[in-house]
Amino acid sequence: MIRAIGIDPGTLSFDVCGLEGNHLFLDRTISSAELVAKPEVLMDMLQLAAPVDMIVGPSGYGLPWVRAQDITSEQMKLIILSEERDRGQNTIVGGMHGILQMLKESGLPVCFAPAVIHLSTVPVHRKVNRIDMGTADKLCAVALGIWDQSHHLEIDYHETSFIYVELGGAFTAVMAVEAGKVVDGLGGTAGCIGYLSSGAMDGELAYLLGSFHKEILCSGGVAYIAGKPQLSPEELVALAQSDARCRLAWEAFLEGLVKYVAAEMSIVPSSREILISGRLSRIEEITYKVSRRLSAFAPVRKVKGFARVTKEAAQGAALIAEGVAGGSHKKLIEVMGLCEASGTVLDHLYVKDAEALRQKLFDL
């Protein structure tokens, strides 16, 4: 029986999910702030779970099946996609380099997974001038969506089709699945407004901001529009009844979400469902409002999953790890075409000075 672990490196929490066949043996979450301060907490948890056959590690912007022990400094940069000035900060981005280095030295069977842009199932023309079509953790969440719809509708993996909406605690991503394969995606920094993130940025705004820190990508969303970035989603939902800026923020979020789901429906018009997951989907009022807006396209349903604690991305990462290691979920990997993933997130840039950018940042 294959023992496998999946890790979701979320903005607010790291979730660790372990599967042995169909048996859940690890279901834990750790605050991202705690992990940045004490990365050994994650290492201890993984060591205690040993022996394991495969671990899908925190893969960020994705590396197609690179083993942790083989990862180079350039590949670490590709996972994090941050400049030197952002790497020492007390944030999950700033702390990721240390976590990756510890995984490299751990001797554990850790492998890094691809993101949406690495998939051969996504036509190349959809990748033009794109980087964030859905990070590796978002792809893992979609893997759980395929598993979930297959079980819910009692259909084979290759019969699944849906639009996946990941309503994270910081970012929102929308991805399209057809015949069990991811065929397009709009990632958290390239799509609709998130709870913290502004989503796709107006090019003129990016120009006026000039060279900005990566933390800017995690601002401008619902909480910032409302003028209360320190408040939780639950608190801002409650305030929408009496606060005009809160109502403005949620309306921008909901209408934007409809626009981006409509865009992905044009790619897969025969979608059986719209599946939603993520931090915000756990709030009943948000789920109700999102479902009401999106039901015009297809039936809307929350992903159920199989774990009690860990988020959907960690569960999907565990399914992928178990399948890649040759376990009972191998067919899921085959249908999704995950083993054919290749390339880097910088392969499809055609803007002026794109090559100079690759050389400057990553020495590729």
What CATH number should be reported for the domain holding residue 29?
A: 3.30.420.40
Q: Structurally, how many domains does the chain consist of?
A: 1
pLDDT the model gives residue 94: 61
* Domain span holding position 208: 3-362
pTM for the model: 0.95
pLDDT the model gives residue 138: 97
pLDDT the model gives residue 84: 67
Decide if pLDDT at 276 tops 90. yes
Bridge-based pairing state of the strands 300-302 and 273-277: parallel
Look over the chain and give the mean of its residue pLDDT values, rounded to a whole number.
Answer: 94
pLDDT the model gives residue 37: 85
304-345: pLDDT as tens digits: 999 999 999 999 999 999 999 999 999 999 999 999 999 999
59-101: pLDDT as tens digits: 999 999 999 999 998 899 899 987 766 655 555 666 788 899 9
Decide if pLDDT at 269 tops 60. yes
